[in-house]
Amino acid sequence: MEKAIVVAYDKNRAIGRNGDLPWGRSLPADLAHFKKLTKGGNVIMGRKTFESIGSRPLPERENIVISSRPTGVKKVLTAMNLRSALALSRYPTFIIGGSQVYKDALDTPEIDTIYATEIDVEFPDADTFFPKLDMTVWEEVSRTYHPTDDDNAYAFDFVTYKRK
Ligand SMILES: NC(=O)c1ccc[n+]([C@@H]2O[C@H](COP(=O)([O-])OP(=O)(O)OC[C@H]3O[C@@H](n4cnc5c(N)ncnc54)[C@H](OP(=O)(O)O)[C@@H]3O)[C@@H](O)[C@H]2O)c1
């Protein structure tokens, strides 16, 4: 069963600012890509990421939140750490952040794919980052360019990395 990281970051690997995405809702093509990838699967996220999406489960996916306390939200599973979250997963599984959860996932050999959206811009006031990839461990296997258009404020690449 697939186990993958899904992340979007800027040129400095920034993923967050003030509890939200630095680019806000300005990349609908990336949100559509995220939905298509993760639909029907398990999504695993940290408690702050869960709060950032409105403390509601993402629809059409089984949601698992990593936290030291239960969320108290119906239809959301809680796990104390990534290992326990993976043990609860029943479907193709997507690790969707934030930074500590990504760090743990990069150190977990069974998570062997990264679906990254690499945004061609720098957000100077970001406060949350994706770790730098160790390219002795990961290799790029595909890259698709998406230009700026009427709906999407920045150009970006959809990139897939596989664990070697
Ligand atoms: N660009 C992207 O792709 C992307 C993706 C996801 C999030 N984000 C952004 O990133 C920010 C949120 O990320 P974040 O890094 O601040 O927080 P986070 O990882 O989402 O949540 C941190 C919380 O998760 C729990 N947790 C995480 N790892 C744990 C571990 N190993 N053991 C126990 N508990 C653990 C703890 O919850 P408790 O304190 O409840 O115990 C911790 O306080 C937001 O700005 C969000 O918009 C961006």
Pick the closest to residue 12 from 118, 95, 88 (CA basis).
118
Is 20 near ligand 1, meaning CB less than 6 Å away?
yes
- Averaged pLDDT for residues 131-139: 97
Pick the closest to residue 129 from 99, 159, 96, 157 (CA basis).
99
* 51 CA from centroid of ligand 1 (Å): 9
pLDDT for residue 148: 97
- CATH at residue 154: 3.40.430.10
pLDDT for residue 76: 98
pLDDT for residue 126: 98
Mean pLDDT rounded to a whole number for the chain: 97
Q: How many domains does the chain have?
A: 1
Cα 42 off chain centre by: 12
- Averaged pLDDT for residues 35-46: 98
117 Cα nearest atom in ligand 1:
3
pLDDT level of residue 37 (50, 70, 90 thresholds): very high
| pLDDT tens column, 108-128 | 999 999 999 999 999 999 999
Owning domain of residue 21: 3-163
Which sign does the torsion angle of CA 103, 49, 94, 113 carry?
A: negative
Residue type, 12: N
Is 99 near ligand 1, meaning CB less than 6 Å away?
yes
Is 98 near ligand 1, meaning CB less than 6 Å away?
yes
- Averaged pLDDT for residues 139-151: 98
Q: How far apart are CA 54 and CA 56, in angstroms?
A: 5
* Rounded percentage of the chain residues whose pLDDT exceeds 90: 100
